[in-house]
Every structure is written in structure tokens, then in C-alpha cells.
Amino acid sequence: KAGVTQTPRYLIKTRGQQVTLSCSPISGHRSVSWYQQTPGQGLQFLFEYFSETQRNKGNFPGRFSGRQFSNSRSEMNVSTLELGDSALYLCASSLAGTMNTEAFFGQGTRLTVV
């Protein structure tokens, strides 16, 4: 079956702009979680959605937001982009949440802010 699909794969934005990233989970999975990965900070948890509800949130500013649709697809939005937002953004899908079921990662969206 198809894996986790993230679009776009690469993105270049200017400071101050906003960006929306998309994640389509594995069919049947109801949980989607988002992560930011940078060389300096490593992987950091952003938030997790389950059945359209945000279930957990990491320590990121309010500029980072997300949502999940009824078909479990999820979007992540970053407003007022800063240079430090340049990173690989990964999403992972799981059957019932990453705490208790295995997480399958997408290939990520590489965001560059100039």
C-alpha cells in the first residue's frame, strides 16, 4: 500500500511570507504528527492530530499551526516566516497515535527561507 506522501518536496520562501505543507497518511491511519528537523536542533515534535483534533503540541510559537481533515490528510502552516524556519519538515502517520502504534514517516518537505 502507498506510504506517507508529503508535498511539496522542496520549497523556497522569503522572510515574512507564509507557507502550507501537506501530508497524506497511509490509508486507514487516523493520526498524523509533524516534526521539524534542523542540523542544530535535530528532530523536534511540532504537533499531533487524531481524527481531526489536535491531541498534543510541542514547544513551538503560534506561527506554527496545523489541521487535519476528515480524510485524515493534514496540513501544516507557518506564518511570518523567519530564516530559522529553514528545515526539513517531516510528517508521520500511525494507526492510533505515535505513543502506542508505529509511526511511518514521509520523505519530508525541505523548506528554505531566504
Partner 1 sequence: KNQVEQSPQSLIILEGKNCTLQCNYTVSPFSNLRWYKQDTGRGPVSLTIMTFSENTKSNGRYTATLDADTKQSSLHITASQLSDSASYICVVHSNDMRFGAGTRLTVKP
Interaction of residue 86 with partner 1, rule CB under 8 A? no
User: Which listed residue (4, 78, 81, 87) binds partner 1 by CB under 8 A?
Assistant: 4
How does DSSP assign 21-65, residue by residue?
EEEEPPTT--EEEEEEEETTTEEEEEEEEETTEEEEE-S--TTEE
Identity of the residue, 40 or 62, whose beta carbon is nearer to partner 1 in the bound complex: 40
Interaction of residue 104 with partner 1, rule CB under 8 A? yes
- From first CA to last CA, the distance across the chain in angstroms is 37
For residues 17 to 56, the per-residue mask of contacts with partner 1, x marking binding by CB under 8 A and - elsewhere, is ----------------x--------xxxx----------x
CB 57 within 8 Å of CB 49: no
User: Which listed residue (27, 51, 107, 112) binds partner 1 by CB under 8 A?
Assistant: 107
